[in-house]
Amino acid sequence: MRTPAPESEYVWGGRNAVFPNEDARGWLERMAEKGWTAPTWPREYGGGGLSKDEARVLDQEMAALGCRIPLRSFGLWMLGPVLLEYGNEQQKREHLPGIICGDIRWCQGYSEPHAGSDLASLQCRAAADGDHYVISGQKIWTSHADKADWMFCLVRTDPDAPKREGISFILIDMASPGVSVKPIRLISGSSPFCETFFDNVRVPAENLVGKKNAGWTIAKALLAHERALISKLRDARKEEQDTLEDLAAEYIGTDGEHIADPILRDRITRANMDFLCNKLTLRRSAEAVKAGLGPGPETSMFKLYGTELNKVRKELRVLIAGYRGIGWQGPGFTARELTFTREWLRSRANSIEGGTSEIQLNIIAKRVLGLPD
Amino acid sequence: MSFVLTEEQLAIARTAKHVVREYLPVTQLRALRDDGDPVGLSPDAWRALAEVGVAGMTIAEQYGGAGLGWRELGLVAEECGHTLAATPLLSTTVLGAGAIELGGSDAHKRDWLPRVSRGDALLAFALDEDTRFAPGDIALTATANAGDFVLDGEKQFVLDGHIADAFVVVATGPDDGLSLFLVPAGAEGVHAERRLMVDSRNAASVRFDQVQVAEADALGPIGGAADIVSLLCDRAAAVLAAEMLGGMCEAFDRTLAYLKERKQFGVVIGSFQALKHRTARMFCEIELTKSIVAAALQALDDGADDAPMLVSTAKARASDSYLLVAAEAIQMHGGIGVTDELDIGLFYKRARVAELSFGDAAYHRDRFACLLGY
């Protein structure tokens, strides 16, 4: 449990949890016993009960030992913090312990076919019926919906109110009659994304989190947790990759001193410089926040620039590897070469998911630069 | 390093802003240009800057300077960028005085540095010879001659060359290595001729026609001055990048204000998404430039090993970003953007000249790759 985990060995928990080996199961059980899968959550729900400073020390020690993440979970990363803030006591007691020990796996029901960038226009309907809501409609881009036990979901509870004021945040058991799931294939091949359909699914009214029709506030709070998570995971991944210049030396060769293709060499340098400037700007922004100088440049800028840089980088890996960077599967290509292909294609989604680049530009124009609608 | 400025640095930036805007507004550059001013800068304004410590900011206190760092001088340069201030900051403070401090004798330092700090002496750095920055390719020769040396060759694009009191001349020789010599402007065989550049700032062609120099006037080891030249060019590139940052911020702010005020089709043009997105992208480019410029200047102050790599990134980024912002500033201003009446065109012109000075983006990307070993 002290070597980096390849994606195939990630532990996601759930009723049908799959562990790559017994060590992974044991590691999760021991961490969950101490509540250290959720170090800062209160002890009464099974959390670690640590202060933020204590949790930071735990993080640092685990990183220093090279420990694997015992449990990957949208419950831990997204739903839990929101339940702690907006959930009632009964909801916390019912759901937090299962998240902490990894017994229940959650998925996120946000986007819909007609509500992508304009999320607040979502139409999935929850109609009150006695002490239940009846859900009908569709969600899309639901990561791991086919493996999840429960979904936290945005539904429309008042179709007549202005679009942001008729949305509620509700918890749905995926085993309920009327729920069906269909995986989505991407240009990069199979993916964790799914479509989820609700055909008159009955959900107890007590599963509604916060006030009815006040779900948009919770939705936004959860998105902030999601964005923080995306940038954290992305940073961790970057470190593992070969440098572009090393790949170029390997696939293209050198003229003794320089990468033999001067045009690719220049493009690699642009990418390297942009990466350096972005890294420094992230640091500058963090320092400004720490010094109490406000949030600095908006996070939208980092989402925009980070994802575009990643696309450039993945594309360059393919161009560097040439024919060996466009293989699809089977013999004749190394495992790494096949990841060049898949990651290049997958990266096209980076500037779409989590708010498109265009949405980020809108946010910068409006909130940072004060340009009018 | 820390990106957050100290109280002292903030005070320096405030003072610089105040003095530069009072003595060196854009109208001053226009006046120099339109009057055909033979000097090409205002000695009075330079003395005013010297009085608040700018001329000798990076010169040691024992020679009348302020003994501050490149990060601080960068803050001043940034303010100069806002108003396109014509000053001898690069030629005299960064390059001339820098060469004397790095390679000069005690006598050189005592003779020149206090005068530079007071704003009373101007120096020029004679490096380039052809159509672009190429510090590794110097044809001007220094030939040994009975214990002394003879300089022969011609320099181009020497900043403030026609008004300098002395030149720091980069020469090849007496063998293959580079040498630096301090040559008074009045020395026999020195012919400086002003060149009017597109940004209305000072540059000259300077011919060194069999000029006799003494061994005592060498700055740094004879035949072994390449490291000094390289460090000087890095400092100049970093300080220039800071000036470019100020220039692009000013062009951007003026454009942003115009987008919020100019109406067409009954609405302010800043409400059009075609302009909003480009403006937001410019904002991002400027934010990235701010970070790398600060990092490069600080690395020079720290004497960090990666300073050359950071400086090259800063100059490449500043060149690309300034040109982008200035070109977009013209486009977004529309017709009035291409008139001489509006200042925006002056920023565009300065962006081009600054890009080519001390290495353009392509030069610095190549250097970055070489420094990283590919």
Instruction: Give the ipTM.
Output: 0.96
Beta bridge mates, B144: B149
CB distance from A117 to chain B under 8 Å?
Answer: no
Mean pLDDT of chain A: 92
Give the C-alpha separation, B168 to B94, whole Å. Answer: 12
Q: A301 in contact with B at a CB cutoff of 8 Å?
A: yes
Give the 3-state DSSP-derived string for B294-321, with helices as H, strands as E and coil as C. Answer: HHHHHHHHHCCCCHHHHHHHHHHHHHHH
Residues B86 and B350: their CA atoms lie apart, in Å, by 11
Query: How crowded is residue A178: how many other Cβ atoms within 10 Å of its Cβ?
Result: 14
Most distant pair of Cα atoms in chain A: their distance: 78
Distance, CA of A26 to CA of B22 (rounded, Å): 71
Residues of B in contact with A278 (CB under 8 A): 288
Confidence band (pLDDT; 50, 70, 90) for B315?
Answer: very high
Query: In CATH, what is the architecture of A241-368?
Result: Up-down Bundle (1.20)
Q: Do B283 and A301 touch (CB under 8 A)?
A: yes
What's chain B's length in residues?
Answer: 374
B166-172 and B123-126: which strand pairing?
A: parallel
Chain A / chain B CB contacts < 8 angstroms = 112
Q: Give the CA radius of gyration of chain A.
A: 22
Which of these ranges, A61-75, A97-111, B209-223, has the smallest mean pLDDT?
A61-75
B7-90+100-120 and B226-371 share one CATH topology?
Answer: no
Tell me: the pLDDT tens digits for B253-308?
Answer: 999 999 999 999 999 999 999 999 999 999 999 999 999 999 999 999 999 999 99
CA torsion sign, B220 to B221 to B226 to B231?
negative
Mean predicted confidence (pLDDT) in B325-342: 98
For residue B174, whether the previous peptide bond is cis, meaning omega lies within 30 degrees of 0, is yes
Q: What are phi and psi of B315, to 5 degrees?
A: -70, -40
Q: Are A276 and B256 a contacting pair at CB < 8 A?
A: no
Closest CA to A62 of A230, A239, A227, A236: A236
SS3 B146: coil
Strand, coil or helix: A57: helix
The DSSP call for residue B150 is E
Q: How many separate helices (H) and strands (E) can be counted in chain A?
A: 11, 8
Across-strand partners of A156? A125, A167
C-alpha distances in Å from residue A358, one per residue of A113, A363, B255:
18, 9, 21
Sequence spans of domains, chain B: 7-90+100-120, 124-217, 226-371
CB B231 within 8 A of CB B220: no
Q: Give the Cα separation of B313 and A272 in Å (integer).
A: 9
**CB contact, 8 Å: A345 with chain B?**
no
Tokens representing B143 are 């030939």
pLDDT tens, residue by residue, A162-213: 999 999 999 999 999 999 999 999 999 999 999 999 999 999 999 999 999 9
Coil, helix or strand for A159?
Answer: coil
Please state the rounded mean pLDDT for residues A243-267.
96
Neighbour count for residue A205 (Cβ, 10 Å): 14
Is the Cβ–Cβ distance between B126 and B139 less than 8 Å?
Answer: no
A258 CB near a chain B CB, below 8 Å?
Answer: yes
Tell which of B5, B276, B368 to mutate to test the A interface (max A CBs under 10 Å): B276
Structure token digits, residue B276: 């909003």
Q: What is the pLDDT of residue A172?
A: 98
Residue A233, pLDDT score: 64
Interface contact flag, A301 B287, Cβ < 8 Å: yes
**CA atoms of B45 and B15, how far apart (whole Å):** 14
CA–CA min distance A31, chain B (Å): 37
pLDDT attached to residue A178: 98
At the topology level of CATH, where does A7-101 sit? Answer: Butyryl-Coa Dehydrogenase, subunit A; domain 1 (1.10.540)
How far is Cα A156 from Cα A230, in angstroms, rounded to an integer? 27
Q: Would you say domain B7-90+100-120 falls under CATH 3.30.540.10?
A: no
pLDDT (tens digit per residue) in A279-329: 999 999 888 888 887 655 567 898 899 999 999 999 999 999 999 999 999
Facing B313 at nearest CB: one of A276, A301, A360: A276
Q: How does pLDDT run across B38-95, given as a tens digit for each residue?
A: 999 999 999 999 999 999 999 999 999 999 999 999 999 999 999 999 999 999 999 9
And the tokens for B163?
């008004």
On the question of pLDDT at A232 being above 70, the answer is no
Q: Which amino acid is at A8?
A: S
- Residues B128 and B152: their CA atoms lie apart, in Å, by 14
Considering the entire predicted model, what is its pTM?
A: 0.91
Tell me the C-alpha to C-alpha distance, in Å, between residue B26 and each of B85, B89, B204, B292.
7, 17, 22, 26
Instruction: Name the residue among B276, B284, B313 with its Cβ closest to that of A371.
Output: B276
How many C-beta neighbours within 10 Å does residue A230 have? 18
Q: What letter represents residue B88's amino acid?
A: P
> Is the CB of A273 less than 8 angstroms away from the CB of B259?
no
DSSP string, A308-324: HHHHHHHHHHHHHHGGG
The residues spanned by each domain of chain A are 7-101, 106-213, 241-368
Compute how many other C-beta atoms are within 10 angstroms of the C-beta atom of residue B23. Answer: 18
Interhelix angle A335-347/A299-321, nearest 10 degrees: 140
Domain B226-371 of CATH type 1.20.140.10: yes
Of B185, B362, B280, B320, nearest in space to A297 by CA: B280
Joined together, the tokens standing for residue B280 give: 């937001």
- Other Cβ atoms less than 10 A from the Cβ of A93: the count is 13
Mean pLDDT of the region B231-236: 98
| pLDDT tens track for A3-27 | 777 778 899 999 999 999 999 999 9
CATH T-level topology, domain B124-217: Butyryl-CoA Dehydrogenase, subunit A; domain 2 (2.40.110)
Q: Which two tokens stand for residue A371?
A: 């340009």
Query: Kindly report the CA angle at B74 between A287 and B7, in degrees rounded to 5?
Result: 50
Q: Share the mean pLDDT of chain B.
A: 97
Which of A258, A280, A369 is nearest residue B283 as measured by Cβ atoms?
A369
Question: What is the reported pLDDT for A297?
Answer: 54
pLDDT tens digit sequence for B136-194: 999 999 999 988 999 999 999 999 999 999 999 999 989 999 999 999 999 999 999 99
Chain A residues whose CB is inside 8 A of the B280 CB are 360-362, 364-365, 368-369
Of B294, B316, B374, the CB nearest to A273: B316
- Res A295: pLDDT: 58
Instruction: Quote the tokens at residue B141.
Output: 């020769």
Q: How far apart are CA B2 and CA A93, in angstroms?
A: 45
Which CATH number, 3.40.462.40, 1.10.287.70, 2.40.110.10, 1.20.140.10, labels domain A106-213? 2.40.110.10
> Of B233, B367, B244, B235, nearest to B301 (Cα)?
B235
Find, among B267, B247, B123, B266, the residue nearest to B181 by Cα. B123
Q: Do domains A106-213 and A241-368 have the same CATH topology?
A: no
Whether the predicted pLDDT of A93 surpasses 80: yes
Contact B135, B170 (CB under 8 A): yes
